[in-house]
Structure 1
Amino acid sequence: MSVSNPSDGAYAQRRGEIQTYFDRTAVEAWKRFATDTPLGRIRASVREGRAQMRTAMMASLPDDLSGWRVLDAGCGTGAMSLELSRRGADVIGIDLAPEIIRFARETLPQDHGPGSVAFHSGDMLAESFGDFDAVMAMDSLIHYQEEDAAAALARLAKRTLRKIVFTFAPWTPALAVMHGIGRLFPRSDRAPSIVPIRPNEIVKRLASLPALEGWTAARTQRISHGFYKSQMLEFVRP
């Protein structure tokens, strides 16, 4: 199964749309997600759902991450980076949106455990960030087409020693309809549409890629909480 280079074409265009949206339109909303600020019913359910997903993803990693170098790909305001550092990991948190990264740096507690955290604004696929023991990509690929998301994960796999844990939007009839309506009626200030993916299809696609030869799918868990619906999948290197 052929896979396009995610640095080109549709992937690059989509990446630009995502950066524009999160750095200009949605940054204040994401700052509120990171605090205890009261939210409306929809956004509160999303915040709670994301917290549940972080817990599920962190359960894929050892309690002691001393000596691990971990990429928090699409780190947002840094909640997962903080948890990783408190387990002892040296964390590189990367997000496309410079304003969100500024907020993450400003709000990172001085007491972030025995590990370290370095936040960067840029492309999570940039090879200049080096190799990692693990990659955590929470909801950072849900706006990309399946083939582009798979190609991005393949590039990360080449620089990952132990495991990749990522999320995708699991295909359901309702989500497929919403995705179709969003494409028919675009709006400049709307978030980039979420692309629903069938779980068995993404597993098959990843298993077919040379970069993931020998890797195996392990834990998976779906979180459905109010308006938040996402599924995590863990790929491990033997």
Structure 2
Amino acid sequence: MTTTDDKTIVKDYFNATGFDRWRRIYGDGEVNKVQKDIRIGHQQTIATTLGWLREDGNLKGLSICDAGCGIGSLSIPLAQAGANVFASDISEKMVGEAQQIAKQVLGDPSNLTFAVRDLEQLTGKYHTVICLDVLIHYPTQEAAKMIAHLASLAESRLIISFAPKTVLLSLLKKIGEFFPGPSKTTRAYQHKESDIIAILENNGFSIQRNGMTSTRFYFSRILEATRENSQASHSVLVA
């Protein structure tokens, strides 16, 4: 399957049945037990990211690109904290929902911009680029191209999450494939952490912090990497 095919599937899914499903999961309405578990896991990944950024104490005025923003679960609190946020998603419906939520929460903020954009079409320069729960939709070969592009946008820091490839998770995935359902519209790709780290290092970044979210149905490794030749190293950010 080519990148174009994967992207078309993801785009069509999140503009159709996937939109309603994931809007409920990302929101706070009624969901089933599996969806609630995934919601909790996703919220923990968001909380980890926000925690790292807040620890650094320099969020106000910081330029951030949230690539694959969904309904704005991360973008909106970042804007509330004073960051200048550019948020994008491949799904027009997701972006529309994010805009509505942002308007309800923030009014008409000047420091938050949403756009419908393919990840590899993003342009500009940002202090920090963040991409959460996106790489699961693409094989490692294509994820490498996406990470390389995101790295080219990040002046100082790149934060990404992915489904780690382990023996246990690979077994669970195979078991799950015996029980296909209407909600399993996109493929779920796992990535070896060593592969992702190597990709980051090949693009001039080194790992500074890492975290793991693990619930019954949601597994996500999150990495913070900083540009090796950047003056704004992690030690400076913390200070």
Q: Report the TM-score when normalising by structure 2.
A: 0.85
- 8 Å contact 1:182–1:193 — kept in the other structure? no
User: Residues 55-134 of structure 1 correspond to what in structure 2 (within 5 A)?
Assistant: 55-61=47-53, 62-112=56-106, 116-127=111-122, 129-134=123-128
- 8 Å contact 1:64–1:87 — kept in the other structure? no
User: Residues 111-190 of structure 1 correspond to what in structure 2 (within 5 A)?
Assistant: 111-112=105-106, 116-127=111-122, 129-180=123-174, 190=184
2:58 corresponds to which letter in structure 1?
Answer: D
Q: Pick which of 150-159 and 68-77 moved more.
A: 150-159
Task: Give 4+ residue runs of structure 1 displaced > 6 Å after superposition.
Answer: 181-188
**Does residue 224 in structure 1 map to residue 214 in structure 2?**
yes
CA 57–187 in structure 1, closer or farther in 2 if over 3 Å, else same: same
CA distance in 1, matches of 2:179, 2:25: 27
CA 148–181 in structure 1, closer or farther in 2 if over 3 Å, else same: farther
- 8 Å contact 1:91–1:115 — kept in the other structure? no
Partner of 2:14: 22
Segments of 5+ residues of structure 2 without an aligned counterpart are 231-239
CA distance in 1, matches of 2:11, 2:32: 25
- 8 Å contact 1:138–1:166 — kept in the other structure? yes
Deviation at 1:141, TM superposition (A): 1.2
% identical aligned pairs: 27
CA distance in 2, matches of 1:122, 1:82: 18
- 8 Å contact 2:18–2:183 — kept in the other structure? no
User: Residues 196-207 of structure 1 correspond to what in structure 2 (within 5 A)?
Assistant: 196-207=190-201
1:193 corresponds to which letter in structure 2?
Answer: R
CA distance in 2, matches of 1:164, 1:107: 26
Secondary structure of the residue that 1:193 maps to in structure 2? coil
1:234 corresponds to which letter in structure 2?
Answer: E
Segments of 5+ residues of structure 1 without an aligned counterpart are 1-8
Deviation at 1:167, TM superposition (A): 0.4
Structure having the larger proportion of residues in helix: 2
2:65 corresponds to which letter in structure 1?
Answer: L
2:13 corresponds to which letter in structure 1?
Answer: Y
- 8 Å contact 2:85–2:113 — kept in the other structure? yes
CA shift digits 1:97-120 (9 cap, x unpaired): 111111111121455398721111
2:117 corresponds to which letter in structure 1?
Answer: G
- 8 Å contact 1:137–1:167 — kept in the other structure? yes
Q: Pick which of 57-66 and 118-127 moved more.
A: 57-66
Aligned residues: 225
Q: What RMSD in Å do the two structures reach over aligned CA positions?
A: 2.4
Q: Pick which of 33-42 and 219-228 moved more.
A: 33-42
2:215 corresponds to which letter in structure 1?
Answer: H
Q: Report the TM-score when normalising by structure 1.
A: 0.85
- 8 Å contact 1:66–1:115 — kept in the other structure? no
